[in-house]
Chain A
Amino acid sequence: MTAPAIELKAINKRFGPVWANRDIDLKVMPGTVHGIVGENGAGKSTLMSILYGFYTADTGEILVNGQNLDIRNSQQAIQAGIGMVHQHFMLVEPFTVLENVMLGMEGQAVLANARGKARKALQDIASRYGLEVDPDAIVGELPVGLQQRVEILKALYRGAKILILDEPTSVLTPQETGQLFEILESLRSQGVTVLLITHKLKEIMAITNHVSIMRAGTMVAHRETAHTSPEELAELMVGRKVLLRVDKQPAQPGEQRMEIKNLDYSDDRGVRRLKDINFNLRSGEILGVAGVSGNGQSELLKMLSGALAPNQGVMVLDTRAGHSELSAGSWRDAAEIRDLGIAHVPENRLRQALVKAFSAAENAILGYHDKPEYGETFLEPEKVVNATEVMMEAYDVRPRLPGLKTANFSGGNQQKLVLAREMLKEPDILLIGQPTRGVDIGAIEFIHRNMIAARDKGAAVLLVSVELDEILSLSDRIIVMNDGAITGEVMASETNEAELGLLMTSTAGEVPTAGNGPTGGAKAPQSEQQEEAVA
């Protein structure tokens, strides 16, 4: 029997009081694709960083091809034949592909000859694994899928026989994902061992031979992919039966609050991020926006909340502030939109919704700091603190210390503070993005209950989430986004994960048919979109 390509024995790693990895064992057989799944924060990335020498384990052993190794930095990992493709690419954007690949493996102090050698070696690798990239292209000008390819080339150029991919598809379009999987197939057939870290079960099922499941810093199970199911994996990941339906009454949608017409947006680089978005939102309903992250949902939220202005389109609002129509030329900023009765819980709370250095009380008025209730000429601390105490009480924010620095609250409590700030104002329209990202289980249920309660009180809720479970269990109606466009609209009660998955990978206007399997469905639009990109 051959030795495992990688064997980890009793790996432990602590960051202060937090066990990031606890007694981890793992065996990865050579020439296979081995998946590692787990929720965000389960310890997958830490484990891989230990394997790649970014961190050193507190205790435990690492065996590569049967040899016990002490990997203390990435150089040693590279020497041991391990390569890593990080979630955030580690590429020097103004450099060419060739220069990026050479970096750290130049061979000689003077580059003149090294370049020629590297070029040849790169071409050999590219043709062997089917990874064609122009070696003289500037990396920063390449599309994301090709940049990832450069990362893989870098690893292979360094002689990697074991390749770690950390959430490789999170930034990819479905067609790029398809291409990536083809590459992984080809690598596997050439004897390369692939470790695929992901939290997407579909990918595990599609490509891996084996899968290991992590939860809260521990390794909970190992399975052969052929002998497991997404349901079993999901249960292992979460540690209990997945809560598929939140307790709620059917929605009773009232009058229309918001209507979006022909919204279009291109970013600074001219990439069209939103393509002709149309939908409406009524009081008393939750409209879910589903999609792989990075398909325009973030831009949509920013636009509706006033953080960004569209190039084209109209937003019609009917709120307590009356009837208003915003068009691309007369868009409003976040403060003005808030005044129209719209509240916004953004996707990334530490980046957008909170100022880490502020006290809880100071954050409790962010966006509402101009309101006279917090003081007339000057801001009055007592009023701010009183308001904060009310919020903390209502949303059970712990500890109840308005003066405590926000950075010292846990993620769940920070999120509750944001929700309290936005929802206690009883907005007519609530925009909410990734409400439970990085939040503990107890807080998730609390947050979900409050969203339903807001709906039942007549709020119009727009929920953006990449977690399909969350979308399915909370929404009344669902729109699906892919590549900046809405690819479909369904009633939550009449759909399922499979249908949504299909919509998430189809192009706008195309009607997915039941006969299309996930792979068939993903491939057909691929060529279509590529042509579009070329044109």
Chain B
Amino acid sequence: MSPILAESPRWVRIGLVPALQLALALVISSLVVLIIGEDPVQAFAIMIRGATNLEFGGFHSTLYYTTNFIFTGLAVALAFHAGLFNIGGEGQAYVAGLGIAIVCLLFDSTLSVWLMAPLVILASAAFGAIWGVIPGYLQAKRGSHIVVTTIMFNFIAMALMSYALVVHISPLGGNSTDSRYWNSDAVFPKWNEMMPDAPFSLLNPTLILALVCCWLVWLLVWRTRLGYAIRTVGSNPHAATYAGINASRTIIITMAISGALAGMMAVNEVYGAQGRLILNFTSGFGFMGIAVALMGRNHPFGVVLASLLFGALYQGGTELQFEISSINPQMVLVIQGLVVFFTGALDRLVRGPVEGAFLRYQLAKAKKAEAADAAVAGGN
């Protein structure tokens, strides 16, 4: 038996299986729609239209959500490569918003968007990195479990941000829980502001930053020494020690980068879309990164595809409530939960039988070929 046959084809592993898992999640979500007494086919049709139409900016909004999910998805995916489960994307993005707010409050009346944008990106990445690197440090040096620490850091971030907003930032202008609007000359223009014909949406140039980050993460993971170290530490820490890779250092660096990636989500929200710092602006986007990374199998390209999918679901879900008022947009959370369940926790449920079937099929084919060869040889 050729050893190559021990693995099912690549398209099955990274294409068919996730697609089936997604289908399963959608079927069960449809059941929920049925329980509510609505027609799931109609609901999905509305969602698809809502997420893809160009004339009312549906597709633009999809891309706007996609931008958020790419950042948080990359953050989770990169940490996964180092064997770390970073659940703290939500908090990292949230705190990064503070970094942006500080930069904007200080400079938005003096600097132009060309100077502001790099500063804002740096600030968001730095604040996110700090919020990621502390749990990373505690895991690497003090042995505390990163899952628990990042969860705790999400809540600490909530307290910190509500303190910062309510006590310090909102008094500078704005409502009781929001900051004032940033000077419109200093923030990213929205797509419809750059393209007069385009319908209104929150889509802004941060999407480009997100795509650049995808490419950079790919480069980091598969083309750099650091990426090699990250993957070694993630899949076999003993081998890392053997190779002279400093695992603690690698974990700390990975969490810093992961936090920075999650943090840059705040650029899209605080700097691009909203133009001010709002209480709870992350609204679960950080957690969505987990579903995105799982669905995208931790590959930047997969993350883009999964982000598009979830971006569409998010946008479609928002549209849904206008047409079928009994379906709450939080339906997307149900789908998110089911996707996480089927692609993450219940991965084997679908993967096992499907890949097994392909293996058996390959084996049978190989045997047949062998038999045919033998027959030919025998004939000679």
Contacts and interface: CB of A to CB of B under 8 A. Distances in A.
A379 B227 CA distance: 10
Contacts of B225: 369-370, 379
Interface residues of B, number: 26
Interface stretch (B172-180, B240-248, B289-297, B340-348): B240-248
A511 interface: no
Contacts of B242: 305, 307, 334, 344, 346, 352-353, 366-367
Interface string A384-402: 0000000000000001010
Output the residue of B219, B225, B244 with the most chain A CB within 10 A: B244
Nearest to A346: B242
Contacts of B224: 378-379
Contact of B3 (A358, A365, A379, A399): A399
B330 interface: no
A355 B244 contact: no
A337 B243 CA distance: 10
Contacts of B7: 405, 408
B377 interface: no
B41 to A, nearest CB: 41
Nearest to B233: A355
A443 to B, nearest CB: 15
Contacts of A369: 225, 228-229, 243
B239 A336 contact: no
B235 interface: yes
5 contacts: A307-B242, A334-B242, A344-B242, A354-B239, A366-B239
Contacts of A306: 244
B244 A358 contact: no
Interface in B224-262: 224-225, 227-229, 231-232, 235-236, 238-239, 241-246
Nearest to B227: A379
B238 A401 contact: no
Interface string B177-195: 0000000000000000000
Interface string B209-235: 000000000010011110111011001
A29 interface: no
Given A352-B238, A409-B3, 15 more contacts: A305-B242, A333-B244, A334-B242, A335-B243, A351-B239, A354-B236, A357-B231, A357-B236, A358-B235, A366-B232, A366-B242, A369-B229, A379-B222, A401-B4, A408-B3
Nearest to A375: B223
Interface residues of A, number: 35
Contacts of B366: none
4 closest A-B pairs by beta carbon, nearest first, are A335-B244, A334-B244, A367-B243, A408-B3
A334 B239 contact: no
B244 A367 contact: yes
Nearest to A368: B243
A142 interface: no
A337 B228 CA distance: 20
A379 B223 contact: yes
A250 interface: no
A366 B242 CA distance: 9
B238 A338 contact: no
B1 A17 contact: yes
Output the residue of B224, B229, B231, B242 with the most chain A CB within 10 A: B242
B2 interface: yes
Contacts of B156: none
B6 interface: yes
Contacts of A378: 219, 223-224
Nearest to B219: A378
A290 to B, nearest CB: 23
Given A356-B236, A378-B219, A379-B224, A334 B4 contact: no
B228 A362 contact: yes
Nearest to A365: B228
A334 B238 CA distance: 12
B373 to A, nearest CB: 18
B2 A355 contact: no
Nearest to A350: B236
Contact of B235 (A344, A346, A357, A399): A357
Contacts of B229: 369
Interface of B: 1-4, 6-7, 219, 222-225, 227-229, 231-232, 235-236, 238-239, 241-246
B244 A408 contact: no
Contacts of B235: 355-358
A337 B244 contact: yes
A160 to B, nearest CB: 36
Given A306-B244, A335-B245, A379-B224, A353 B1 contact: no
A175 B91 CA distance: 57
Given A366-B232, A379-B223, A336 B244 contact: yes
A316 interface: no
Output the residue of B222, B223, B236 with the most chain A CB within 10 A: B236
A444 interface: no
A338 B244 contact: yes
A307 B237 CA distance: 12
Contacts of B239: 351-355, 366
A378 B227 CA distance: 10
A405 B6 CA distance: 10
Contacts of B222: 379
A344 B245 CA distance: 15
Nearest to A354: B239
A408 B6 contact: yes
A265 to B, nearest CB: 16
Contacts of A362: 228
A365 B231 CA distance: 13
Contacts of A404: 3-4
Nearest to A336: B244
Contacts of A336: 244
Contacts of B243: 334-335, 366-367, 369
Nearest to A371: B225
A41 B241 CA distance: 28
A351 B244 contact: no
A362 B238 CA distance: 16
Contacts of A356: 235-236
Nearest to B229: A369
Contacts of B227: 379
A5 B319 CA distance: 75
Nearest to A17: B1
Interface string A503-533: 0000000000000000000000000000000
A408 B5 CA distance: 9
B4 A379 contact: no
Contacts of A338: 244
Contacts of B1: 17
Contacts of A399: 2-4
B245 to A, nearest CB: 7
B356 to A, nearest CB: 12
B47 to A, nearest CB: 37
Contacts of A17: 1
Contacts of A352: 238-239, 241-242
Contacts of B231: 355, 357-358
Contacts of A355: 231-232, 235-236, 239
A297 B243 CA distance: 19
Contacts of A337: 244
A405 B232 CA distance: 14
Given A379-B223, A404-B4, A408-B6, A334 B232 contact: no
A409 B3 CA distance: 7
Contacts of A346: 242
Interface string A403-419: 01100111000000000
Nearest to A377: B224
A337 B242 CA distance: 11
Nearest to A384: B228
Output the residue of A307, A358, A366, A408 with the most chain B CB within 10 A: A366
Contacts of A358: 231-232, 235
A102 B370 CA distance: 56
A124 B227 CA distance: 60
